[in-house]
Amino acid sequence: MRLDYRTRLKKGVILFDGGMATMLYSKGIFFNRCFEEVNLSQPKLVKELHEEYIQAGAEAIETNSFGANRLKLAKYGLEEKTVAINRAAAQLACEVAGDRIFKAGSVGPLGIRLAPLGVLARSQAEAIYQEQLAALLEGGVDLIIFETFTDIEELLFACEVCHRLDRDIPIQAQFTVGQDNLTADGLAPEKAAQLLQAKAEIDVLGINCSIGPAHSLEVLLKIREHVTKPIAVMPNAGLPKEYEGRFFYLSSPEYMAEYAKQFLEAGASVIGGCCGTTPQHIREMGRMIKNFDHGRHSVKVISQPLKAQAKAEIPLAQRSKLGEALARWSWITSIELVPPFGTDLGPTIAKARQLKEAGVNVVNIPDGPRASSRISTMITAIEIQRQAGIEALMHYCCRDRNLIGMQSDLLGAYAVGLANLLIITGDPPKVGGYPEVTGVFDVDSIGLTTLVSRLNKGIDLGGNELPHVTGFVKGVGANPYATALDREIDRVFRKAQAGADFIITQPVFEAASFISFIEKIAPLKLPVIAGIWPLASYRNASFLQNEVPGVVIPPAVIKRMERCQTKEEARLEGVLIARTLIQEIKPYICGVQVSPPFGRIPTALAVIEPNEDNLTRLLNS
């Protein structure tokens, strides 16, 4: 029985496998052999590789049949085994996958251009495609995937042939582009995608192979503006590099995983790998995208109908001192204090007292930043407010708790005097030191903002009346430098609609793009607090740029830090960069949230108030 690929597409991202030829080669099947013939001579090996990808988390595997058409098999004298090779490819995939994993019949281009521009008559091409497709369908595949096509006309033709054989089979049509961002016949990717959507009866269109994940992301961003069908992205692991006569793919599993997240954020519905990608790549990609996708598709959980009349909300200015400052659009200074590892809150409380004495408005407390496990954010916030006498802004992320636990936490937090929240989706566990831990992500930040807005109206998760309203001040995050900026802006508008009271941005290192972003969200009339991360050194800047998602540091800033000769000079330069940025963006914001490197309070104070005493403390810290 064929699995329902079309229905599954509507439920969230689908993770495909990686490069079958790459794995066959790694197992001793060399280039002078026909990879597809291994279906007949070494079927156990093919099944083992399918199983490795499934164990790595792939929800769809491709049959080992990419080049199994009569023309290409003839180079090995195997043209008479075309049907047997393709039928075996499908059957081997089905034996491993059963009824839980999608089996995609892989079909590549014929390798000879079709008439009238080429020498291959269309009637001949149709017969060749029919032979391969019929064998794959007979073998039991759930969908057909046409991949790595460089000629869009041939891809359109192949889709037509497939539909004439089976009107109901789902089709995923993928093409590839070169380094010039054009197909072999000179089409821009957006034009190629438009032609596929308009002329082919397909379920998914997309790209594969190409020259690595960064290039594939660039192409995806061009395509998505012009099509409405689901988009697939399956990059190779970059161009191989030669070293001492050996060729290596340099895109590590972790590198591919970071791009997989960006593919998801940019709108991809199907993500996988091509040449050079192994089960390790797929495992890391799956860990990264599945948590985020689960949250992205869970906002509907908060759609329970109201069973009680909403109560009047507490005015923003009466909820907390932060709420009062936001209501008046007063200038706000917030400093980040990360909860400690271990059990000693003493140093953190001492830093909070310093900030209180310096006149800082609020202490910002991250919730398991970079998926780390520290003292509870809520406990840290309670003790800071109790012992240091300064308001806390408690981050609360969706990663670690289900909705019932979230509501319990929030009611308890408000009961003990915590009113300020920054609501975030949270990093997946993969980015921390606990790769085997799973995230919950019952909702994302939009859904959680909706829940908190209900609590502020005296309505609980199930739509029932609460004895009292809460008075939370609800902040949300925004990334002015997001890869898919239009989607980020859409999410900010949805967060505002869900009830956000203010916005805190990802770190700002460049003013022009930030200001452009603020102007785009200006209709919301929400106060914006800019994230400011003073750099400590060239090494610190390089780490943030290369390792922390969402951080974009211009080359000019990196060079400024690289020129610093001493650690004192570097700290001062980092503060000066931050101060200059604040002055450039100040007309567009209502405050700053400073995250000092390594928790150095003198650095934070030098940023918000660069007087002589603070600069002296900075240089001596």
Mean pLDDT for all residues in the chain: 89
Q: What average pLDDT does this structure show over 15-19?
A: 96
Residue 219 pLDDT = 93
CA 381 to chain centre: 29
Q: Considering only 31-35, 40-44, 84-88, 145-149, which range has the smallest mean pLDDT?
A: 31-35
Banded model confidence at residue 293, pLDDT cuts 50, 70, 90: low
Residue 178 pLDDT = 87
For the question of whether the overall pTM of this predicted structure is more than 0.75, the answer is no
Q: Which helix (H) or strand (E) holds 489?
A: helix 485-498
Distance between CA 531 and CA 272 in Å, rounded?
A: 34
CATH 3.20.20.220 occupies which residues in the chain? 329-478
Residue 7 pLDDT = 95
% of the chain residues with pLDDT over 90:
69
Of 267, 268, 103, 107, the C-alpha closest to 173 is 107
Those residues whose C-beta lies under 8 Å from the C-beta of residue 534, and which sit 6 or more positions away, are: 571, 574, 575, 577, 578, 594, 596, 597, 603, 604, 606, 607
Is 50 exceeded by the pLDDT of residue 301?
Answer: no
Residue 411 pLDDT = 96
Q: What average pLDDT does this structure show over 310-325?
A: 96
Q: Which letter does DSSP use for residue 468 in this model? A: S
Q: What average pLDDT does this structure show over 4-31?
A: 92
Residue 243 pLDDT = 42
Residue 241 pLDDT = 54
Residue 311 pLDDT = 92
| Residue that has been written with the tokens 């209900």 in this structure | 454
Residue 402 pLDDT = 84
Tens digit of pLDDT for each residue in 549-605? 667 899 999 999 999 999 989 999 999 999 999 999 999 999 999 999 888 999 999
Q: What average pLDDT does this structure show over 313-328?
A: 97
Tens digit of pLDDT for each residue in 219-258? 999 999 899 999 999 999 876 554 444 445 557 888 888 8
Of 267, 173, 177, the C-alpha closest to 224 is 267
Q: What average pLDDT does this structure show over 3-7?
A: 95
Specify the CATH number of the domain 5-297: 3.20.20.330
Q: Considering only 124-128, 297-301, 498-502, which range has the smallest mean pLDDT?
A: 297-301
Is 80 exceeded by the pLDDT of residue 124?
Answer: yes
Q: Which helix (H) or strand (E) holds 247?
A: strand 246-248
Q: Assess whether the previous peptide bond of 116 is cis (omega < 30° from 0).
A: yes
Residue 355 pLDDT = 96
Tell me if 365 sits within 8 A of 380, measured CB to CB. yes
| Residue that has been written with the tokens 């790209």 in this structure | 207
Residue 2 pLDDT = 86
Distance between CA 411 and CA 404 in Å, rounded?
A: 11
Is 80 exceeded by the pLDDT of residue 427?
Answer: no
CATH 3.20.20.330 occupies which residues in the chain? 5-297
Residue 551 pLDDT = 79
Distance between CA 200 and CA 511 in Å, rounded?
A: 44
Q: What average pLDDT does this structure show over 501-519?
A: 96
Extract the runs of DSSP E, i.e. beta strands, from 425-558.
Answer: 473-478, 502-507, 528-532
Tens digit of pLDDT for each residue in 335-373? 999 999 889 999 999 999 999 999 999 999 998 665 567
Q: What average pLDDT does this structure show over 34-57?
A: 96
Is 60 exceeded by the pLDDT of residue 527?
Answer: yes
Distance between CA 207 and CA 147 in Å, rounded?
A: 8
Residues facing 145 on adjacent strands:
106, 172
Of 241, 184, 174, 180, the C-alpha closest to 209 is 174
Q: Considering only 59-63, 268-272, 429-433, which range has the smallest mean pLDDT?
A: 429-433
Residue 142 pLDDT = 97
Banded model confidence at residue 127, pLDDT cuts 50, 70, 90: very high
Is 50 exceeded by the pLDDT of residue 295?
Answer: no
Q: What average pLDDT does this structure show over 273-284?
A: 93
In the numeric block, which tokens belong to residue 70?
A: 């009569």
Residue 437 pLDDT = 60
Residue 184 pLDDT = 85
* DSSP of 69-88: SHHHHGGGT-GGGHHHHHHH
Tell me if 495 sits within 8 A of 342, measured CB to CB. no
Q: Which helix (H) or strand (E) holds 333?
A: strand 332-336
Greater pLDDT, 248 or 9? 9
Residue 299 pLDDT = 42
Banded model confidence at residue 439, pLDDT cuts 50, 70, 90: low
Distance between CA 157 and CA 107 in Å, rounded?
A: 13
Residues facing 336 on adjacent strands:
364
Specify the CATH number of the domain 329-478: 3.20.20.220
Q: What average pLDDT does this structure show over 429-449?
A: 68
Of 136, 111, 130, 170, the C-alpha closest to 39 is 136
Choose from 121-135, 263-277, 454-468 the range with maximum mean pLDDT: 121-135
Q: What average pLDDT does this structure show over 207-228?
A: 89
